[in-house]
Amino acid sequence: MTTDEVLAIFREAGAYLEGHFILTSGLRSPVFLQKARVFMHAGPTERLCRAMAEAISERIEGPIDYVVGPAVGGIIPAYETSRHLSVPAVWVERENGVFRLRRFEIPRGARVVVVEDIVTTGLSIRETVTCLKELGADVLAASCIIDRSAGKADVGVPLVALAEYEVPAYSPDALPPELAAIEPVKPGSRSL
């Protein structure tokens, strides 16, 4: 699946938004990819995650034991991708501000892939990788539907991105005038 095909799915779902957005990272952007509008439809979600599973399979040698998604955004793509990889899906969630595998156990040495929705800075994946390594997991790679950094984000492990789409992101104190003139909105899932 190409970047243009991925973005077409987002546009068809009304998930490609333009304006002034406060991203989960705290950065500001004129574009927001509202993946929830895609994930509410099983067909497009299945197509994206099947393609992501295929990309993961092409890059990872040997078996995968688990797919792990960071809550909230990674739960649906992790589950759907795991279905195509025929492995269990689990998720980490924040407990006192730190990702923990609260509802599940995985054995030491388990071979895992982290699956996320969209990467901007890579923070959620890095925090997930840290949690999993503390549990003794072998984190093989991470994967995402869209890498907004176009390969610049450091996630701590190899990143398999279905699409790379660099969207400008600015510090709140370094906004271009056209963006500063628009009232910002925060549609993401994590509070600042």
- Using a 10 angstrom Cβ sphere, with 0-12 exposed, 13-18 middle and 19 or more buried, the burial of residue 2 is exposed
At 87-119, the pLDDT tens digits run 999 999 999 999 999 999 999 999 999 999 999
Q: What is the pLDDT of residue 93?
A: 96
pLDDT band at 190 (very low <50, low <70, confident <90, very high): low
User: Is residue 124 helix, strand or coil?
Assistant: helix
CA-to-CA distance for 32 and 167, rounded, in angstroms? 9
Residue 19 reports pLDDT greater than 50? yes
Say what angle helices 42-59 and 75-85 make with each other, to 10 degrees.
Answer: 60
Angle at 43 between CA 99 and CA 18, to 5 degrees: 70
Cβ-Cβ contacts under 8 Å for 114 (sequence gap 6 or more): 67, 68, 69, 70, 74, 78, 125, 128, 129, 132, 139, 141, 142, 143, 155, 157
Q: Categorize the per-residue pLDDT at 192 as very low, low, confident or very high, splitting at 50, 70 and 90.
A: very low
Helices (H) and strands (E) in the chain, counts: 6, 8
For the residues 21-41, what does the mean pLDDT come to? 91
Query: To the nearest whole percent, how much of the chain has pLDDT over 90?
Result: 89
Orientation angle between helical segments 42-59 and 3-12, nearest 10 degrees: 160
How does residue 25 score in pLDDT terms, banded at 50, 70 and 90?
confident
pLDDT digits (tens, 9 = 90+) for 54-83: 999 999 999 999 999 999 999 999 999 999
Say what the pLDDT of residue 189 is: 58
Rounded mean pLDDT, 156-183: 94
Q: Strand, coil or helix: what is 16? A: strand
What is the pTM (predicted TM-score) of this model? 0.90
Q: Checking DSSP bridges between strand 66-70 and strand 89-95, what pairing results, if any?
A: parallel
What are the Cα distances from residue 46, in Å, to 9, 27, 99, 151? 11, 30, 26, 24
**Confidence band, pLDDT 50/70/90 cuts, at residue 188:** low
